[in-house]
Structure 1
């Protein structure tokens, strides 16, 4: 039987190396330090999101870490931290700066006024006159919100990082930020006229709303009452909708058999319309003279249930009125083509002119 000593030793060595590597990795991820160092405290008016384990840096190089944060004097924050050196300049300035866009912070130690030979030792508390809180991301980015709304996600991330660096004094200048911003806002500038027109139109709408404020308020009030009434009568409304659905179904079943006849009537109506259009002059003339003719016909029936006519003249004409075959030479009677009677009454005058 083979000895298990060799594999067991290898397994133990592997386990030790794995645990050690895991510990080192966890230590690095947790921003852990080797411990020790010199402890200091600093008082800030605002230490939002500063947490134990955050870096302490000098010129961007990590020299320590934050060990704790607590409230002092009811409205101030005291941050305890340690550094890997025994002393700090007496005029040192400590600023809370943004580590990334997710809001993580770190303490930045910077050279302050005064002689660097003057130092402070461990346990010293640095006052408000030498500390600076982090910039307010909410207020900062709210000012750039109209710009961010017009940019892509990558452009927003790039511009945000540059803004933070500039305002923290880490790199770049205001002129570079403005130049980058100008390059990112070309699209907005191209749409300036459209945006201006939109704002003008919006101003007109708001002005009209302001001028009719009472009516608009009344409209909203009435709408609220209407909606409330519908809500209170929801059962009745639901029943009415159901009945309307049934009515629609019944109407469809009634119209279905008559659909061919209706289609034929519509087609005939189209032909009638075309005929009316083609003979509109004649129809117009008929409608114009019809009242006059009806008035004259009405006069004939004004005395009773019969028509009464006044005879203005009587002519007898055969053929074209020129035939000599219809004359009566032997009997002293008028020719067929002869006017038998003509009245001289005023009502018989044409155009009210005497004959």
Structure 2
């Protein structure tokens, strides 16, 4: 009996020690409450979408191992409340059997990152938190993590599929508080790669769209922001039906584009942003992506609009004075030469 009691006490002591270690697991008192980890070191899955496409998902977190993740020597990393001098990286890879298939067509690539305490709210303006995330050294869309004070937030980034097709891997990097204000920190719970693809070889991605924007130049508070696809024709090499996906971003004074749903609480998904949804000083941008009938996405184009002003006539520089000055100068020179000639 005494032996059983001693064994039980030892087990309880070990359990308490492990729980205590986990409670302080790389998260100081400024960080979030610890989360229960259920994912494997690198969680992977493939789902048949039953429409000729598949979705591959890979998750990297603090429990992942090399080559996907190695905790950096600077004290930062997944699950750690990390500051501007604790930047770090990790790797996502496409399953080698998928990447090696000669008939592979990648429809879309996304990175989904869950982060804590990203103070990117518009009210922070230029002084807000800018956590810059790249894939193979290339900006994704959006460029920064998005989130709010003392909460968990997820940011979905669109990635150019050509980066993954290059070598079957994405080298990820986060530059925390990229402007080095020493004011902001965050911790990442996970980074998730989501790839939608097909391997039958019969489908090809649509062509890059040709677009026109309106207004083409000055934008005031009475103008709707409109982008129209004008070509090419056909829009797809297989002559499949093509639709267009619109993702709108706005700079509300933060110095960088934020997803409109995050910045304004309005998720515009069509080719138009009504004037009623815009304000003076904002600058808007839209990404237009062609999608064929099988879900394959073609090259995306970005369209930027001018900063919104109250009234274009008041903000534009009048053309007349720009003409008066050169004409006056010419007349003055002519008078000088005429005077010299008379003398």
Do they superpose with TM above 0.5?
no
Kindly indicate which of the two structures has a greater share of residues assigned to helix. 1
Q: TM-score range by the shorter chain?
A: under 0.3
TM value normalised by structure 1: 0.22
Greater fraction of residues in strand: 2
Structure with the greater alpha carbon radius of gyration:
1
- Greater relative contact order (CA < 8 Å, ≥ 6 in sequence): 2
